[in-house]
Structure 1
């Protein structure tokens, strides 16, 4: 059985707010509780604190896993992806698409315990919720680029996981919970640029420009139980959902929704869950092996909000019935060998 965890650990496990420490301990305890073989980390690296030892380096040591970094200079100070695995790493590659991908996509090729090979892609799509449909258009372009990247793995088992900052068609959004969470952060976290750049959302980043004048009214309504239904219904009609549709039409299986057609499966914010934006997608070759998928709310005495603002998603894949022959990786597509990382 191969266990895969997708986990946005918030700003590389570093929350640069006064009085808050690195979150290595709660993250290590929660991750170890589910014993994953592979962990995809959409916000695994924090370039804004590159002078310090990365939390993911500490996690790799604590969990006895190999760290593969997905950072690249073109992403600037954006939080960047990483991957941890206890499986043998055959190769890895960082895919950069300047002008299309806000953050690079990390590709990791591993050998599973049954001898088969599996390719894992870790991605983090743009948020910019305040831009509404314009942001969704950007996410669509990112998904199209990711599909193009994954085309090289066509015919071979592979998966895509990460934080997509998007909802699937037909899924609920508890916008009132998200609004209350952001207002809570605005009241409890320091104001200023450091607050706005530490990975925590703030109201100006979530609320569309044309709704800004309604901020006091929305804040009042978010505390009124009957009014919350109205806010949720209105937001549900407004939020675009085309990015996830692109992956579904390309044949990728939404692991959680496939096994849990009626459960919300909300992953963010962990403190006041409002929507499901963290996904694990299995390729058509891998999908028949899917056995379980769940949102992890706590583990080893650590509750989700103590470790990050996202809840992790865990998927389990059964061994392949027939071991596949070793696939040769051609030089033109060659990944950066692990020894060169």
Structure 2
């Protein structure tokens, strides 16, 4: 499961949302959970509440991420992906009967597509030659296989620009003489796809793909898929299902819905 829990499960006006978040996760009984937007003691609280082990990656500029692993699994190695992510990326290797499984939890740059593209390439490097690897998290990026014009038109301009890539309309003319035009920036997802990683929802997903916003709202969203799982080809052969968890509790626990996949490893 991957889940952006929004500002660590804390709101200045509503108080804590940690109990609903724990209910959403616990009801799904996941073996591995990738969490984004941790704050304060939210990660340790959730790990203890769910009876899972937590591996956290700290952030220099943004918010930490963490991977929670069920108690029945052996963690072979754990740590941060040593790159200057705006938020963070955590890497955990877990022993399974099908061989080691590498899990990488990431939260990509929220505002700048060029930076997201480079962060996605760092994730590809972190996967390396691992046969069974899973990259999952809030990638803050639209996919290159969908027409996004309508949902982008519904966004206020300050949020729409996050998903646009600006370029001059003609190489033969100067940027100074010709106004720039924009196209949807999907480079981060395209980088993962170009590296041979498989979009799990696109391969076996069922139901609506959009992950934000929930009923909790969020002006920066307009019915968008921003949360993903990507698998190496060998792991993709073991995919069984994938869906966005939409429940009344998930509606009020965060502004993102979690995504969960079943993999027979």
Would you call these one fold, judging by a TM-score over 0.5? yes
TM-score bracket, normalised by the shorter chain, equals 0.7 to 0.9
SS of residue matched to 2:233: coil
Q: Is the 8 A contact 2:205 2:241 kept in 1?
A: no
Work out whether 1:285 is the aligned partner of 2:234.
yes
SS in 2 for 1:274: coil
Q: Which residue of 2 is the match for residue 239 of structure 1?
A: 184
Greater share of strand residues, 1 or 2?
2
Which position in structure 2 is the counterpart of 1:61? 48
TM-score by length of 2: 0.82
Alignment correspondent of 1:27: 21
Within a 5 Å distance, the mapping from 1:116-195 to structure 2 comes to: 116-128=99-111, 135-151=112-128, 154-173=129-148, 175=151, 179=155
Cα distance in 1 for partners of 2:154, 2:46 equals 29
Segments of 4+ moved more than 4 angstroms: none
Unaligned runs of 5+ in 1: 129-134, 180-202, 210-236, 320-341
Tell me, yes or no, if the aligned pair for 1:291 and 1:318 is still in contact at 8 Å.
Answer: yes
1:82-97 superposed matches below 5 A = 82-86=66-70, 87-97=73-83
Q: Is the 8 A contact 2:78 2:91 kept in 1?
A: yes
Relative to structure 1, the CA distance from residue 70 to residue 303 in structure 2 (aligned partners, 3 Å threshold; closer, same or farther) is: same
* 2:226 pairs with 1:250: no
Q: Which runs of 5+ in 2 are unaligned?
A: 163-181
Deviation at 1:176, TM superposition (A): 6.7
Q: CA RMSD in A?
A: 2.2
Equivalent residues, number: 238
User: Do the aligned partners of residues 291 and 115 (structure 1) sit closer, same or farther apart at CA in structure 2, a change above 3 Å counting?
Assistant: closer
Asked whether 1:294 is paired with 2:238, we answer no
Contact conserved, 2:52 with 2:69, CA < 8 A, in 1? yes
Contact 2:63 2:88 in 1 (8 A): no
Question: CA 1:279–1:178 in 2, change beyond 3 Å: closer, same or farther?
Answer: farther
**Per-residue deviation, 1:124:** 0.6
* CA pair 172-276 structure 1, distance change in 2 beyond 3 A: farther
Which residue is equivalent to 1:318? 264
Aligned to 1:269: 213
TM-score, normalising length: structure 1: 0.65
Structure whose CA Rg is larger = 1
